[in-house]
Amino acid sequence: MFGASAREVKNIMDRLLLFDIDGTLARTENGYLPFNEAILETFGVAGDIRTVIPDGKTDPMIVREIFSKANIELIVQAHDWERFIGNLVACYRRHVELGSTTVRALPGAAELLCALAGAGAFGLTVVTGNCEATARVKLAAAGLDSFLGRGAYGNDSAERSDLPALAKHRWEQSTAHAVLAGNCVVIGDTPDDLAAARQNKMKCLLVGTGRYPVEELEYWRPDACLADLSDTGAVLAVLNSL
Ligand SMILES: [Mg+2]
Task: Give tens-digit pLDDT for 191-206.
Answer: 999 999 999 999 999 9
The pLDDT tens digits of the residues spanning 132-162 come to 999 999 999 999 999 998 999 999 999 999 9
Interval between CA 7 and ligand 1 midpoint (Å): 34
For residue 49, the enclosing domain spans: 29-102
Interval between CA 187 and ligand 1 midpoint (Å): 9
Quick check: 36 and 165 in contact, CB under 8 A?
no
Are residues 230 and 117 part of one domain?
yes
Are residues 232 and 196 part of one domain?
yes
Are residues 49 and 20 part of one domain?
no
pLDDT at res. 13: 59
When pLDDT is averaged across residues 58-74 and rounded to a whole number, the result is 88
Q: Which ranges constitute the DSSP H helices of 44-77?
A: 59-69
Please indicate, yes or no, if residue 65 is contained in any of the structural domains: yes
When pLDDT is averaged across residues 2-26 and rounded to a whole number, the result is 71
Q: pLDDT > 70: what percent of the chain?
A: 95
pLDDT at res. 78: 86
Please indicate, yes or no, if residue 1 is contained in any of the structural domains: no
Interval between CA 4 and ligand 1 midpoint (Å): 32
Phi-psi region of 176 (alpha: psi -120 to 50; beta: other; left: phi over 0): left
pLDDT at res. 73: 83
Q: How confident is the model at residue 185 (pLDDT cuts 50, 70, 90)?
A: very high
Q: How far is CA 170 from CA 138, 175, 207, in A?
A: 21, 9, 25
Q: Output the pTM of the full model.
A: 0.91
pLDDT at res. 8: 46
CATH code of 37's domain: 1.10.150
pLDDT at res. 118: 87
Quick check: 197 and 179 in contact, CB under 8 A?
no
pLDDT at res. 141: 95
**102-105 and 26-29 beta bridge pairing:** antiparallel
Interval between CA 206 and ligand 1 midpoint (Å): 10
Interval between CA 41 and ligand 1 midpoint (Å): 26
Are residues 87 and 133 part of one domain?
no
Are residues 108 and 17 part of one domain?
yes
pLDDT at res. 238: 96
Burial pattern 171-198, b for ≥16 Cβ within 10 A else e, equals: beeebeeebeeebbbbbbbbbbbbbbbb
Instruction: Count how many domains the chain has.
Output: 2
Are residues 192 and 153 part of one domain?
yes
CATH code of 201's domain: 3.40.50.1000
Please indicate, yes or no, if residue 67 is contained in any of the structural domains: yes
Residues for the chain: how many in total? 242
- Among 76, 102, 128, the domain boundary falls at 102
How far apart are alpha carbons 138 and 59 in whole angstroms? 14
Are residues 122 and 42 part of one domain?
no
pLDDT of 5 > 60? The answer is no
Interval between CA 190 and ligand 1 midpoint (Å): 6
- Among 77, 102, 127, the domain boundary falls at 102
How far apart are alpha carbons 222 and 152 in whole angstroms? 21
Q: How confident is the model at residue 163 (pLDDT cuts 50, 70, 90)?
A: very high
- Among 102, 123, 142, the domain boundary falls at 102
